[in-house]
Every structure is written in structure tokens, then in C-alpha cells.
Structure 1
């Protein structure tokens, strides 16, 4: 993209919608109905993220999958999603966000049905990868459609409601998944996407109006797509495998080094490509760059730390998946309420103050959660969960608006893909890094807690298995005839070690959240309605 195009002002930019601006045929293109339609579509993806986690143990048993196989049910999906997001955004910019959204919704529902009918774990994994590709089409297209349907002063509210739907779907996942797995089958967890996808398709055909920019690139930057995909694959794969390989392992370093090399080559190519996938001039916008880094840090702290909460609730407090989902409702409920409220606040005062305040609240919540122990009650947990939900809401909405709103209209899909990629990379990195921090702390604390409980030392292979179980808060099965007092002592030693590791992970997450709060000072809203110019 030339410098003159990057600096275009409001009057020179193309209309957001095909056809005369402001003209609608019936309900087609109606902003709030557009929001309803895209919300139904992204609800599938958000629901799927937490529902499948509940179903994995049953899938493993039913299909006789190995631990490595069942890991691929999640990892294959995440890899496909992370690798394809920015390219999917480019597809929306080129062919229209409506068509991209409809293909994504239809494909996601179809692959979900195929997984439900699968008879082997290999088939499940293959269709999960395809599901990730179609999910990648949905997310940036949804943001592009919102960007095209709403004027700048109402975009924040729309993104807030959209984020609230994602929060509600995420909150419902463990509860819906637990009920379906317990009372129907694991297949029903995937079949539930079929009617939702059909509704998104029908609503999309009826309501959505195509959104594309007249000066969007007419060709694809194939070398750029290959280099960026290679970089994202190597990065996410290296992060996923690092906990099992070890962060200093040659394989981990090769993948992470390869990701860095591919990203450098990608940047060099973008500087010379005629129609680059991501014009580097985009990142001369300080707010957009800050918003992208902010999204990475937020996802690192939030998703990385929250990963341990489900193990804390289920393995330390002995809750069922459904009970754990109910206990998380104060957090997810606040996200549902807080996201639209944050959108309204950002519309009035801009994103900077809500983002900084939100990350400071998140920092406080992270610190509070680092003080939880094995006997913490529901009241104190709910307090920190509420603060977490209220803190994350303005950041999710504000950072999304900053990234998408500070990109030109012809790059709105790429900007949406960039926002989602930042979240995926941050979440994956946070889970892996904080997982390593926690594993190290648990391994060092367990021998002392075990000895303090008056238990005989466990060494060799049994000792290694004990440490691995303790990293998930799982007390070892006691041999038959073991006194109840000894069983209780073993559980207490394991749970205390797990909580000490979780506390350290939340402490690190609190530091990252505070750094994100400082970064939030650099954010500001996009500058115009028709697709903000990049601020040089």
C-alpha cells in the first residue's frame, strides 16, 4: 500500500458498504440485526472452546485415544485457528465479509456434524483441524461486518455487546457441555453447533449486506501468506510442545527460532511486496500497535492464569464440571454485563481510561487469586471472579476497537484477524509459560509438604508420576487398606503444593496485567467513520 493511501483522510476513503451509503433494502444491512446475526455465528466458536474441553475425557475413553491423541483434539483446532486468522481476514477484505462469514458458519456447522459421526480419534482430529479453519473465517468477518454496519460513535457499543455474547457462550460452555456429556453423549456437544450454524446461515442470507472496500487488494500475497503461516505454526507449535519437551530442549528452540526467522523474512517481504498481506505502515499507528501488544499481554495473563482455576475447583475442591462452571458464573456473568457497559463508556470517554482501569482491576483480581488456599470459600473466590470479569470487559472491547478502528476500511478484515491472532498467541503463550512456572513451583514444594505430612518419600517413576499428578491438583490413589488419616495427609500435601504453584502463576500474571495497564496509556480510538486512516 502506498504512503498516500495510508494517509487518506475521511473524505477520500471509499464507502463502507457496496451500494449507496445509508441505503437499505428492507431489513438488509440493519445495524442491530447485523449484530444479532454475527453474534449467533461467533457464539458457536466461543461455546465450542469450553464445551469440547469437558467432552475430551469421555472422547478419550470412548474412542480409545492415547493422551497424545486427545491433546491433538484441542491443539489441532488451535493451530489451524492461529495460522489462518490473518489470511482469513484478507479473504474477507478481498471477497466480501458477508460471503466469508456465511462460508465460515456453514463449514463450522458441517465439520461439527462430521465430528459427531466420526468413529475414530484420527477422524475427529482431522475434522477439528477443518473446524479451526472455518472458525478462523468467522471471527474477522464478524468484526468487518460490524465495522461496516455501525458508525464510529456506535461501534464501541456493538463490539461490547458482541463481546458479551462471547462471554455468555464461554460461561455456558462448561455447564452445557457437562449436561450434554452426562445425560446425552459426547457427540451431542458437536451436534449442538448444527442448528446454531443453520440459524446463522439463514439470518445471514436475510439480513447481512456485503461489506468490502473498493480499493481492497485484488490479489493475494502468496509468499507473505506462506511465511506468516509458517511463522505462526512454528510459534504456536513450539509453545504447545514446550511443556513436554522442555523450554531448553533443542526441538523447542528450533521451532521458536524458526518462528522468529520466518517472521523476519515475512517483514522483509512485506516491505517490498506490491500488495502486501499486512502493510508494515499499519504499525506506524502507535495506538494500533499498542492495542495489538495489549491484547497479547491481556490474553497471556487472563487465559494463562484462568487455565488453572478449573483444576483448582474440580481437583482441590472436588467439584463436578457443572459445579465448577456455576462457580465461574460471577466472572463470566460480569463479562456479559460489563462488555456492553464498557462499550458505552468507551463511546463517551474513549478507550484509554476504561482500558487502564480495567487492567488495574484485573491486576488486583490476579493478586487476590494468588492468595487463595486449599480451604478458600465460595465468597472470597466470587469476589475475585467478579473483579476479574469487570476488569477484563473494557480491555476486550477497548483493545478490539483500537485495533479495528485504527485500521483503514480496506484492511478491516486483516485487522480483525490480527486482533484474534494476538489473543490466540497470548493465550497459548500464557498457558505454556505460566504452566511451566507452576510446574516448577509444585515440583519444588511437593517434597517438603509430603515430608511435613509425615509420609514416606516416593522416588523413581512413582515420584515422577506423583509430581505430574500434583501439577493438576490430583491426589494419588491410596493402596487398599491405607488409613484414612494417611489418605487425607496425601491429598493435603498434593493440594497445598498445587495451590502454591497456582499462587505463583497468578502473581506473575498480576505483573503482566500491570504492564498491560501501563501500555493502555498509549491507546486511543480510530479517527473517522468511513475507515480511520492510519496515524503516522
Structure 2
């Protein structure tokens, strides 16, 4: 197959290097600006909705499970469809899939804002995820095809900066909109942004199709991979409800392993596979995928607890907690383009290793956070985390996309995003389980040591998992303020001890990721396009 030949022998790609653009259409930096608007919309939506969930629950009378599915439905659709969406871009052109994704995402967002039932909100969130899946790999495919090799890392650096800033800025924007407008505005804001992105895309984006792009679809491969991705993400999501020792959890995870195995066998038989397995003969590409998963486990899993720590233990509002994460956002904004420059000059290996070491140091540093930790100390660890994550997001993306053949750039982009989504879900679920077990182990002892004159309530143990003190409910039950204060201290102390263990595990994962990063190198196809030697 063409893809196997390209990877096994690594000849220069048959697609010519991008020609200098004349006028607006196809201009590299305007292309970056155009795709950044769309990517910002999707990345922002990943975290902005979390702030709106309580208001949605109250307004629509939703259950806790319903509210969880507002996020989980989006995550599932995104994770399942990303690689297939990348294939669609490779086949029909990344410009077309990007524009369809923009339009569909904006329409689905408007439909959510107009929904009066929680079932409709969840359904349109799934639709949002499907259209969002079209956007992300198409954006990378457009950048790969538009930018010359010597400037690609800088472009990906800015692209990563937009994703990081949007993800981290979601709680701030969401808090402002929910507090001062309505929860519907969190979704309505995507409509004008989508219109602007669509207008820029129609004028600026140029269609790029690789000469060797496959002309047929591997339908059985799509079904098998989608089923495998659904099974693993579903199993991870439901593990929090079923428990990690539940037969149901392991049945779904086992089903994902079986489906992945059948998919792998099928891909060796079909003429034009969805994912040519020869891609993974590239050690740097495989290492980049594993690195992206590990990075997301540490980052998404760790960040999940930070918001509860700030709002629960320190009593901050959603807006204030978002503002306290500005050092994280700011460092990602500043260091992402710089990471692109360093990676272009020195290759990705050293920045990736250094980034994961800094991430590990930040995670271990956050094991010192307590109710008395100052804003300055918190800012130090959050800033170090942003500094470490930036080169990893930029470098791992370059390693995965750059080591794939040009005709599979969309698939590689989908693979990169899918790895991040699976890693994020895995990090939240696994670290959440570790946190929960630690809380269960410590709560009764902490309650006894505090000398509280009433038996420990299991509901208060559940509250400790979220650092939430139900002060009003305790007061209504007739408890005196000093007793309520002691209960609050137990809840916070128990949460913090569980959070510390979760951060320790996240730090260990980051150390493993640093070791994996030593296997990465610059994409061979990017080197060939630049006329450089293979590393």
C-alpha cells in the first residue's frame, strides 16, 4: 500500500511543498487565524459548560445523572468520531469538513440554548460533539498543507496556545455569562462566533487534497473502531457509578479490547484501511500517541480537582476560581509559540522531556496545597503546570502529524485528538476513583479525631469527595455553628488528603510520560518537505 511504502522507506512525500499564497485564499497566517476561531469555539465549549451545569439542573429540573450526560454525551461523540472525521477530511478535503463542522456546531449550540427539556440538551450536545469532531483534525490538516515545514511548528504552537487558553479560560467566560446573563448564553455565544468563523473560512481557506488520498471508505473499520472507542470511553465514564471492581465496568473495557483486536486484524486485510497499521511502525508516532494519552491523564485528571479545591476549600466563586487559574492560562499563551520555535530549532525530544518533567514537578508541588495555601504559592504551581504543558501539546501534535504521510494527515490529527480525549476521560475516572477510595479510608478516622458529637453521615462522606460543605442543611438539622465548623474542617481535610494522593499519581504518570518522550523525534515527512536530512 502507498501508506506502508511511505512509512517503511520514508521517501519524500509525493505532495509538493505549499506554494507561496497570492492574495487572501490559502495565506498561511490567515488560514491559522481562520481555523483558530473554530478551534477556540470547540475547546472553550469543553470547559465552559461545566460552570453552567448547576443552572441548567435548576432551570430544567434535571437529575445528577442527566447533568453528567451533558458533558459525557459530548465527550463520547467527540472521542468516537474523531478518527473517522479525519478520514473524511483526507477523502473530501479538509476545507469542506472544517466548514461543515463550523456550521453544524453553531446550529447545534443555538438549538441547545432554545431547548426546554434536558433530553433535548443532551441530544444536541451529542450533535455538537459530532460536528466538533469534524473541526479538530481538519484544522491540523489545513495547517499541515498550508505552512512550509520550517514554520509548521510555530503555527502548531499558536494553535496549541488557542486550545490551551480556551480550555483554561472556559470557567472564567462561563462564570461571567451564567452570573450576568443566563445559562443559555453559554451556548448562544457560539452562534455569532460560528458565523464569523464560517465567513473567514469561505474567503480564506483553500482546499488541499493529498495526491495519494484514499478514494474508498473502510466501512467495517469505521464501525469496529467507533464501537471500540465507544466501549472504552463508556466503560471509563460509568466506572465512577458502577465501581472499578464491577463486572459491568470490566465487561465494557473487555469489549473494547476485543473490538480493537478485531479492528487491527481487519485493517491488515482491507485494501484501503481506515488507519494503516504501518503508521505505528513509526516509533516516534506511536510514542507521540502514548505521550498524548499520558499527558491528558495527568493534566485533565489533575485539573478536575483544582476547581473543586478552589471553590470548595477556598470558597471562591466560579469567576474567582477561573481567575486564579490565569497563571496556567497565561503561561500556556506565552510558552506555546516559544515551544514551537524551540521545537523547530532543536527538534521535539528535549522540549517534550523538559515539558513533562515540569508537569511532574507541578503535580508533585500541588500535593502541598491546603486550605491555608496563599494565592502566590498556588500561582507558582499553576504557572509551572502551564509552562510544562505547552511544549507537550505542541510537540506531541507535531510528532504525530509530522510522522504520518501527507495523505493521512487528517487521520493523524484525529488520532492525536482521540488520544487526548481518551486520556482525559481516563485521568478523570482513574484519579477520581483513587480520590474516592482515599476519602472512604480517611473520613471516619478524621471524624473521630475531630470529636464531633454525632455519628458520621454517609452523605457527608460523599460531600467530602467534592469539598462541599452543606452548611445550610446542617443548620436546618439543628446543629450549632461550632459543630458545623468542625464538620466543614473534616470535609475539607479529607478532600485535600484525597487530592494529594491523586496529584501524586498524576505526577508519577507525568514522569512515565517524560520517559516516553525520549522516543520522539521530528516528523520525517516534515524534514523531507523542508529538504532536510532524516533524524
Q: Normalising TM by the smaller chain, what interval? A: over 0.9
**Is contact 1:350–1:524 with CA below 8 Å preserved after alignment?**
yes
Matching residue within 298, 309, 323 for 1:312: 309
Distance 2:529 2:410 in 1: 12
Q: Normalising by structure 2, what TM-score?
A: 0.96
Deviations 1:159-202 (A, max 9, x none): 00011111222232111111111111111100100111111111
Q: 1:374 to 1:12 in 2, by over 3 A?
A: closer
Q: Does 1:117 align with 2:111?
A: no
Distance 2:455 2:298 in 1: 34
**Is contact 1:237–1:255 with CA below 8 Å preserved after alignment?**
yes
Distance 2:38 2:163 in 1: 10
Q: Does 1:196 align with 2:193?
A: yes
**Is contact 1:292–1:418 with CA below 8 Å preserved after alignment?**
yes
Q: Does 1:524 align with 2:516?
A: no
Deviations 1:438-467 (A, max 9, x none): 0000111111111111113535xxx32111
Q: 1:240 to 1:72 in 2, by over 3 A?
A: same
User: Structure 2: where are the runs of 5+ without partners?
Assistant: none
Deviation of 1:360 (Å): 0.5
Matching residue within 445, 450, 453 for 2:442: 445
Q: Does 1:468 align with 2:462?
A: yes
Q: Does 1:479 align with 2:479?
A: no
Matching residue within 139, 151, 154 for 2:136: 139
Moved more, 129-138 or 365-374: 365-374
SS at match of 2:368: coil
Q: Does 1:221 align with 2:226?
A: no
SS at match of 1:319: coil
Deviation of 1:8 (Å): 5.8
**Is contact 1:408–1:531 with CA below 8 Å preserved after alignment?**
no
Equivalence map 1:329-478=2 (5 Å): 329-458=326-455, 463-477=457-471, 478=474
Matching residue within 53, 61, 69 for 1:64: 61
Distance 1:23 1:303 in 2: 39
- RMSD over aligned CA atoms reads 1.6
Distance 2:167 2:455 in 1: 40
Q: Does 1:247 align with 2:237?
A: no
User: Structure 1: where are the runs of 5+ without partners?
Assistant: none
Matching residue within 38, 46, 49 for 1:49: 46
Deviations 1:100-134 (A, max 9, x none): 10000110001000101111111111110000000
Deviation of 1:24 (Å): 3.3
**Is contact 1:141–1:413 with CA below 8 Å preserved after alignment?**
yes
Q: Does 1:36 align with 2:37?
A: no
Q: Does 1:178 align with 2:175?
A: yes
Q: Normalising by structure 1, what TM-score?
A: 0.96
Deviations 1:45-104 (A, max 9, x none): 111111110001100110111111111111100000000000000000000000010000
